[in-house]
Chains A and B, each alone.
Chain A
Amino acid sequence: MKKCEIFSKGIIKENPVLVLLLGTCPALATTTGVVSALAMGIAATAVLFCSNIVISMLRKAVPDKVRIPCYIVVIAGFVSVVQMLMHAYFPDLYDMLGVYLALIVVNCIILGRAEMFARKNGVIDSALDGLGMGIGFTLALVLMASFREVIGAGTWAGIEIPVIKDYAVSIMTASPGGFLAFGCLVALVAKITSGKAPAKKSFSCEGCPNAAACNKESCETDVKEESK
Chain B
Amino acid sequence: MKENIKSVVVLTAICLVVAVLLAYTNSITAPIIAENQAAAANESLTIVMPDATGFEDLTPSLTLPETVTGVYKETSGLGFVMLVNATSDYSGGNPMTFTVAIDATGTISAVELTGYYDSKDFGPDYPQSYVGQNSTLADITLVAGCTYSSVAFKDSITSAFNVLIENNLVAEAQKSEEQLISEALPLALSGCVNATNIPIADPIEGFSDPITQAYKAKNNCGYIYVMNGGSYGSVIVGINAFGVGRVYSLDGSDITADCAGLIETAAAANPVIATANLEANTATVAACFEEGAVVTPVENLGGFEDVTAAFTVTVGEETQYAVITQPLGYGDEAMKMLTIFNANGEIVVYKTLTELILHGEYYSAHELTDEGAYRAQFVGLSESTYSDDMTLVAGATMTANAVASNFNSAFEAFNLIKEVVG
| Complex contact flag A–B (Cβ < 8 Å) | yes
Contact residue among B3, B4, B18, B30 (Cβ-Cβ distance under 8 Å from A77): B18
Q: In whole angstroms, what is the CA distance A88 to B37 when docked?
A: 10
| Total contacting residues, chain B, CB less than 8 A | 21
Interface residue? A81 (CB, 8 A): yes
**Cβ–Cβ < 8 Å partners of B33 in chain A:** 84, 87-88, 91
For residues 1 through 19 of chain B, which have their beta carbon under 8 Å from a beta carbon of chain A? 3-4, 6-8, 10-11, 14-15, 18
Q: Could you tell me the distance in whole angstroms from the C-beta of B6 to the nearest C-beta in chain A?
A: 5
Q: Which of A7-53 contact B (CB under 8 A)?
A: none
Q: Is A81 a contact of B7 with CB atoms below 8 Å?
A: no
Q: Contacts of A65 on B, CB cut-off 8 Å? A: 3-4, 7
A63–B7 CB distance below 8 A: yes
Using known A-B contacts A73-B18, A77-B21, A81-B21, determine if residue A66 contacts B11 with beta carbons closer than 8 Å. Answer: yes
B-facing residues in A87-112 (Cβ within 8 Å): 87-89, 91
Chain A 49-76: CB-based contact to B (< 8 A → 1; otherwise 0): 0000000001001110110011001101
Which residues does chain B contribute within 8 Å of A63, judged by CB atoms? 3, 6-7, 10
Q: Which of A70, A80, A84, A85 contacts B10 (CB 8 A)?
A: A70
Shortest C-beta distance, A202 to chain B (Å), equals 32
Q: Evaluate contact between B3 and A87: CB separation under 8 angstroms.
A: no
B25 at the A interface (CB under 8 A): yes
Say whether B40 faces chain A, with CB atoms less than 8 Å apart: yes
User: From DSSP, what is the main secondary structure of chain B's interface residues?
Assistant: helix
Contact A58 B14 (CB under 8 A): yes
Q: Is B22 an interface residue (CB 8 A)?
A: yes
Count of chain A to chain B residue pairs whose CB atoms are closer than 8 Å in the complex:
54
Chief secondary structure at chain A's binding surface = helix
| B10 touching A61, Cβ below 8 Å | yes
Interface residues of B in 244-296 (CB under 8 A from A): none
CB contacts (< 8 Å) of A77 on chain B: these are 18, 21-22
Give every chain A residue within 8 A of B4 (Cβ-Cβ): 65
How far apart sit A62 and B29, CA to CA, in the bound complex (Å)? 31
Nearest residue in A to B22 (C-beta to C-beta)? A80
Is B14 within 8 A of A73, CB to CB?
yes
B387 at the interface (CB under 8 A from A): no
A-chain residues with CB within 8 Å of residue B7 when the two chains form the complex: 63, 65-66
Chain B residues closer than 8 Å to A62, beta-carbon distance: 10, 14
Do B29 and A84 have beta carbons less than 8 Å apart? yes
Whether B22 pairs with A70 at a CB distance below 8 angstroms is no
Q: Does B36 contact A (CB under 8 A)?
A: yes
Question: Chain A's nearest CB lies how many Å from the CB of B412?
Answer: 55
Structural contact, A70 and B29, CB atoms closer than 8 A: no
Chain A residue, CB-CB nearest to B15: A73
In chain B, what residue has the closest Cβ to A66? B7
| Complex Cα spacing A89 to B21, Å | 18
Q: Are B15 and A66 in contact (CB under 8 A)?
A: no
Asked whether any CB of chain A lies closer than 8 Å to the CB of B128, the reply is: no
Taking Cβ atoms with an 8 Å cutoff, the residues of A that contact B are 58, 61-63, 65-66, 69-70, 73-74, 76-77, 80-81, 84-85, 87-89, 91
26 pairs of residues in contact across A and B, judged by CB atoms under 8 Å: A58-B14, A61-B10, A63-B3, A63-B6, A63-B7, A65-B7, A66-B7, A66-B8, A66-B10, A66-B11, A70-B14, A74-B18, A76-B18, A81-B21, A81-B22, A84-B22, A84-B25, A87-B29, A87-B33, A88-B28, A88-B29, A88-B32, A88-B33, A91-B33, A91-B36, A91-B40
